[in-house]
Amino acid sequence: MLKLIECPRDAMQGWHRMISTDEKVKYLNALLQVGFDTIDFGSFVSPKAIPQMADTKEVLPQLDLSRTKSKLLAIVANLRGAEEAVVYDEISYLGFPFSVSETFQLRNTNKTIAESLEQVHSMQELCIKNRRELVIYISMGFGNPYGDPYSPEIVLEWIAEMVKMDIGIISLADTVGVADPATITGLFKHLVPAYPQVEIGAHFHAAPHNWEEKLKAAYDQGCRRFDSSIKGIGGCPMAKDELVGNLATENLIAFCQEHGESLPLDMQALGKAQLLADAVFKD
């Protein structure tokens, strides 16, 4: 079954203008009416690291979850953030970025890969205890700009470690937009049949000229979980200085429709959310 994960948190976190709490609430409530499987809505991370997400706790109680089937996902960078997030019954998923690049893991979470693996163990135990689900994002899953060792084999080894912990959702993240169709094809061709019990997803950062080839490479190998953001806004502010945009939701929807996928989306509600995005993501 195809799952579309809308990522306003990813869009907002690096935006150059501070977005008010009221703006966030209004935009997120509009997105909740569209019919996305999951909304990546906020994060429990240091406000010094990501100032734009400092008001996640204020945003959450103002979200109208009474008329939506969408579930909420919050990003956490460590066990402390996970402990803060699981308190909220409204949150179904905790997402943790686990990088196969040592440089980026230190840069993103101030921990080594080895230390982060221990964090994953602890967070998984916490999620099971609190009836939440941990989503692991394999950051720098298709390469990195830091000169750290990279190969598809390294990615597969770390994913195997996650599977041993019974992680049920693992998404490969194209953190700096370097993924190419051959690498994408090779990874998903192995992962999708190897782990039928695991939901294998893709979080692509892409430019207007190469989003389709990335999306097609994963889709053709059976990937059916995709992250995107309206208008393709976003990227990782903890990576390189310039942000590479997200896969645009509009492009993802068009691609799925062209491939005969039935999408449970309210297109009128989507139109309203798109108009709000124009206001939220203004200079």
pLDDT in tens, 132-147: 999 999 999 999 888 8
Distance CA 119, CA 200 (A): 21
Residue 244: pLDDT band with limits 50, 70, 90: low
The pLDDT of residue 49 is 85
Question: Of 247 and 243, which is predicted with more confidence?
Answer: 247
Lowest model confidence (mean pLDDT) among 9-18, 31-40, 157-166, 254-263: 9-18
Lowest model confidence (mean pLDDT) among 28-32, 174-178, 235-239, 250-254: 235-239
Instruction: Please name every residue paired with 96 in a beta bridge, in sequence order, or none if there are none.
Output: 136
The pLDDT of residue 236 is 52
Question: Of 90 and 106, which is predicted with more confidence?
Answer: 90
- Its pTM stands at 0.94
Question: Of 109 and 211, which is predicted with more confidence?
Answer: 211
Spatial neighbors of 112 by CB under 8 A, at least 6 apart, are 102, 105, 106
pLDDT digits (tens, 9 = 90+) for 11-46: 999 888 999 999 999 999 999 999 999 999 999 998
Q: Closest Cα partner for 245 from 208, 283, 215, 282?
A: 208
Fold of 3-280: TIM Barrel (3.20.20)
Instruction: Calculate what percentage of the chain has a pLDDT beyond 70.
Output: 96
